Amino acid sequence: MAEVQTTFVKAINAALARAMRADERVIVLGEDVAEGGPYTTTAGLAEEFGIERVINTPISEAAVCGAAIGAAQAGLRPVVEIMFIDFLTLALDQLVNQAAKAHFMSGGQLTVPLVVRTQGGAGSRSGAQHSQSLEAWLTHVPGLKVVMPSCAADAAGLLASAIADPNPVVFVENKSLYFRRELAPEDPAPVPLGRARTLRPGRDLTIVALSRLVGEALSAAEQLASDGIEAEVIDPRTLTPLDLDTIAESVRRTGRAVVAHEAVYTGGFGAEIAAQLQAAAFDFLKAPIQRVGAPFTPVPVSPPLEDAYRPGAAEIHRAARIAAHWDEPFAASPEPGAVTAP
């Protein structure tokens, strides 16, 4: 399949356009979406499909999600854009108590084929109210699917599957990935929800990384290779459903694991992955599962502090070395700066 240079944001835009051309039931709603939205993910859609299908909404996340849930139950396939994942707090009643419950509470009579696209992550100097990673909240809700792509090709393929899914899906995009240039298929195929991807094979250690941390994990794996440690890197791509089989099979081979995400360490989804892994691969583990996450503090707006706050390749490398050398004398103590505890 031919590949082209693109960006994450262009891949999202193209996937939305393809879905809208293929199915007139697909509509887009959100604040300023007819003008392209804050990151241009919906640029040009109003010109092609009209403002009846690309609908600017009031600044009320609860109203937007409520209207979209009603539209989904009436037979449409709405794609909502919430500018920042922080603002999902204003729509949680609609998402948690309505969208996630309708199919179950109606005895299967109702479906809610709704996609909520939202942006998370720090690094843009946007402050504590516009920089959070709150995906763990959403994974705690039965009835919601949660997707976190790490590259343009997966963003396009996963979004196609999310739009086609009969269930409500929250599609979390990291702002720092939007404008990175990368190769992607010109006509990407849908990526099934619930299927992880192994990006780098390895025999000594498994690194499970989410969203932006996938690229950081690959960088850490290159550095580990120079240390003689071959790390396997896995991107779950979807958190709910989680492809535990792929991750556990890797850990059973390597015997060691690191789980990394940008969200705060305490209560992050990495804890859930670690818990499921120890149950699925306990007899094969040679060291405690190491976790990498952000400090338990609001995201600073100060550039130096925000840079220090965001976990990256260095933290993953340190955690991996702890796991790799755990059974060696005097090697189990965390190295300075290793993120292994809250």
- Catalytic residues, by residue number, are 61, 130
Tell me the C-alpha to C-alpha distance, in Å, between residue 72 and each of 76, 107, 141, 274: 5, 17, 19, 35
Runs of H (alpha helix) within the chain = 8-22, 45-49, 61-73, 92, 102-105, 135-139, 152-164, 212-226, 244-254, 269-281, 303-309, 313-324
Give the phi and the psi of residue 264 in degrees, each rounded to 5: -60, 145
CA distance 217 to 205: 12
Q: List Cα–Cα distances, 143 to 103, 131, 193, 307, 342, in angstroms.
A: 8, 26, 14, 35, 30
Site of tokens 């193209």: 14
259: tokens are: 């789980």
Pick the closest to residue 52 from 74, 71, 70 (CA basis). 71
Whether 120 and 174 have beta carbons less than 8 Å apart is answered as yes
Cβ(139)–Cβ(269) under 8 Å?
yes
Contacts of 268 (CB under 8 A, 6+ apart): 133, 136, 261, 291, 293
Q: Is 286 exposed, middle or buried (0-12, 13-18, 19+ CB in 10 A)?
A: middle
